[in-house]
């Protein structure tokens, strides 16, 4: 069964995908993403792979007969893709060259545009889950792309805030946020000509950095060649920074926020950015989302962003020195 069920209290859609419970456990000595598996080309650098157990489909089955005048359902329409970063089974993102990661950025942009061609898709979400702490069982470096037939609630809240700010101040809330962070300086981790990495004033996670494009652009496909190379380098340094923080492969959720597609023009007030949600609050302690965070969306960060920024800047410098050796 795969369908969308409407949540009347939050005005959001929930994906019901019970068929994913039946996904087989992969043999320990076999990986479908490795060359020679028969599932992917024997020779590739980066690769798009259609998810074998998608929560969303462009040919969805009819929902179960559970709806009525109060409870709403609709088909689980959309697209689910896996993006393979490298043929190396245990290769990490910082170990890849900037040139290689640029090919990944280009593939993300290509798939963003392709999925956006489907007028039923309203939001294209590029993301990565990394590490056992966030439930990942497949170490092969990869991320995913979901094409939703609706705009998810968090994105809608961002859009509403950005639109309201633009109407009040005739300015982009993201551009102004970046200006304020640059003015304060203490939460900036590093920057280059095209991207800035910082711990937001309000970050919910101790090491929850954001990556903002310095230019006001709406989606990854709008970046020119120079900006794509800069994004590749920025991601390499960001993940390398995380890995250098406690000297192990740092778990995280990476969420790329592009503007919605096939809907209202948001170009004046929406702004490309990436949000990282690393679950670690220290080298050996996980920050769990407990009742306040989960039930009330009232987050509590036990580390001052300004203090964590110092740690991350030191980790970034450590990674850069390692690269130079």
What CATH number did the domain enclosing 228 receive? 3.30.428.10
Strand residues in 89-200 grouped as ranges (E)? 123-130, 142-148, 188-191, 195-198
92's tokens: 């990490």
Provide the domain count of the chain: 1
Predicted structure pTM score: 0.95
| 103 within domain boundaries | yes
Residue 110: closest CA among 215, 219, 218:
219
| 294 within domain boundaries | yes
Determine the straight-line distance between the first and last CA of the chain, rounded to whole angstroms.
Answer: 53
| 205 within domain boundaries | yes
* Contact between 41 and 47 (Cβ < 8 Å): yes
Give CA–CA dist 301/86, Å, rounded.
34
| 25 within domain boundaries | no
Give CA–CA dist 271/218, Å, rounded.
5
142 given a catalytic annotation:
yes
The pLDDT tens digits for 90-115 are: 999 999 999 999 999 999 999 999 99
Q: With bands split at pLDDT 50, 70 and 90, how would you rate the model's confidence at 137?
A: confident
SS (H, E, C) 277-303: ECCECCCCCECCCCHHHHHHCCCCCCC
| 297 within domain boundaries | yes
Catalytic residue among 19, 89, 100, 142: 142
Give CA–CA dist 175/145, Å, rounded.
26
Task: Supply the range of the domain harboring residue 310.
Answer: 2-20+30-324
The pLDDT tens digits for 271-325 are: 999 999 999 999 999 998 899 999 999 999 999 999 999 999 999 999 999 988 7
| 186 within domain boundaries | yes
């Amino acid at each position: 069964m795969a369908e969308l069920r409407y949540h009347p209290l939050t005005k959001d859609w929930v994906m019901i995908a019970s068929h994913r419970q039946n996904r087989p456990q992969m043999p320990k000595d076999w990986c479908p993403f490795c060359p020679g598996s028969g599932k992917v080309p024997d020779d590739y650098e980066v690769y798009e792979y259609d998810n074998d157990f998608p929560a969303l489909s462009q040919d969805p089955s009819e929902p179960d007969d559970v709806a009525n005048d109060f409870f709403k359902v609709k088909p689980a329409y959309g697209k689910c893709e896996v993006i393979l970063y490298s043929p190396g089974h245990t290769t990490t993102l910082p170990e890849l060259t900037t040139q290689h990661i640029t090919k990944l950025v280009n593939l993300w942009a290509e798939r963003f545009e392709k999925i956006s061609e489907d007028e039923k898709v309203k939001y294209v979400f590029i993301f990565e889950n990394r590490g056992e702490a966030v439930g990942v069982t497949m170490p092969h470096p990869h991320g995913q792309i979901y094409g939703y037939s609706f705009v998810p609630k968090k994105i809608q809240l961002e859009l509403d805030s950005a639109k309201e700010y633009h109407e009040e101040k005739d300015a982009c809330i993201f551009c102004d946020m970046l200006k304020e962070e640059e003015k304060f300086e203490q939460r900036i981790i590093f920057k280059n000509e095209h991207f800035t990495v910082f711990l937001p004033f309000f970050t919910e996670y101790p090491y929850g950095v954001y990556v903002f494009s310095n230019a006001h652009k709406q989606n990854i496909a709008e970046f020119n060649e120079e900006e794509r190379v800069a994004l590749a380098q920025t991601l390499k340094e960001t993940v390398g920074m995380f890995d250098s923080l406690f000297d192990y492969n740092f778990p995280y959720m990476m969420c790329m926020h592009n503007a919605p597609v096939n809907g209202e023009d948001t170009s004046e007030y929406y702004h490309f950015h990436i949000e990282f949600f690393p679950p670690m609050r220290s080298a050996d302690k996980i920050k769990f989302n407990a009742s306040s965070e989960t039930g009330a969306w009232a987050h509590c960060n036990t580390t001052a962003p300004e203090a964590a920024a110092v740690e991350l800047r030191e980790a970034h410098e450590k990674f850069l020195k390692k690269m130079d050796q």
